[in-house]
Amino acid sequence: MPQKKMSIIVAKGGLDEIYPAFILASGARQSGIEANMFFTFYGLNAVHDQKVDHLHVNLAGNAANPLPTVVAGLPGMEAIAAKMMTKKMKDLDIPAPREMLKMLDESGVDMYACKLAMEMFGFGKDDLVPQIRNVLTVGEFYDVSDGGQVIFT
């Protein structure tokens, strides 16, 4: 019988970088698959209560970005790209990150933050959105994800 459990590690915090993980988790739940998400390093921005509504699109160094690196790195370009992406997502009825986190939580996705990354950035559990179930060590995350597939985004 195929495994019905997956855990997604979210290590990047750009608007364009968190949605693949959100969509994978949502699709898993819609397919009856248990889903866990583990937010670490810059992925914590996606669940930080003061940052989740202000995520940028990472342009510089992105090989798929059609803009030359010298243009992509100009001040304000990431914010402009985020505004354009947010508008397109709104036109397509794709929920904003905060709303998506609520929907994932309501669908049964268990979301966790990385203890070490939290300590590195000086974050406390009270800095996070309420959908974060717990702050875990890597070893504790391994226990949660045991028996399922692990995807790194």
Structural domain of 19: 5-58+96-152
CB atoms within 10 A of CB 33: 17
Answer yes or no: is pLDDT of 28 > 90.
yes
Alpha helix segments (H runs only) across 36-126: 69-72, 77-91, 97-107, 115-121
Asked whether 153 and 21 are in contact (CB, 8 A), the reply is: yes
| The pLDDT value given to residue 130 | 98
Query: Is 12's pLDDT higher than 60?
Result: yes
Lowest-confidence region among 33-37, 91-95, 144-148: 91-95
Q: Is residue 135 part of a domain?
A: yes
Token pair of 138 as six digits: 């890597």
Q: Are strands 5-10 and 34-39 parallel, antiparallel or unpaired?
A: parallel
pLDDT for 62: 67
The CATH number for 134's domain is 3.40.1260.10
pLDDT attached to residue 90: 87
Cα–Cα dist 107/133, whole Å: 14
The neighbour count for residue 87, using CB atoms within 10 Å, is: 10
Residue 63 domain-assigned (yes or no): no
30 belongs to a structural domain: yes
E strand or H helix that includes residue 18: helix 15-30
Inside any domain, residue 90? no
Task: List, in sequence order, the alpha helices (H) in 32-96.
Answer: 69-72, 77-91
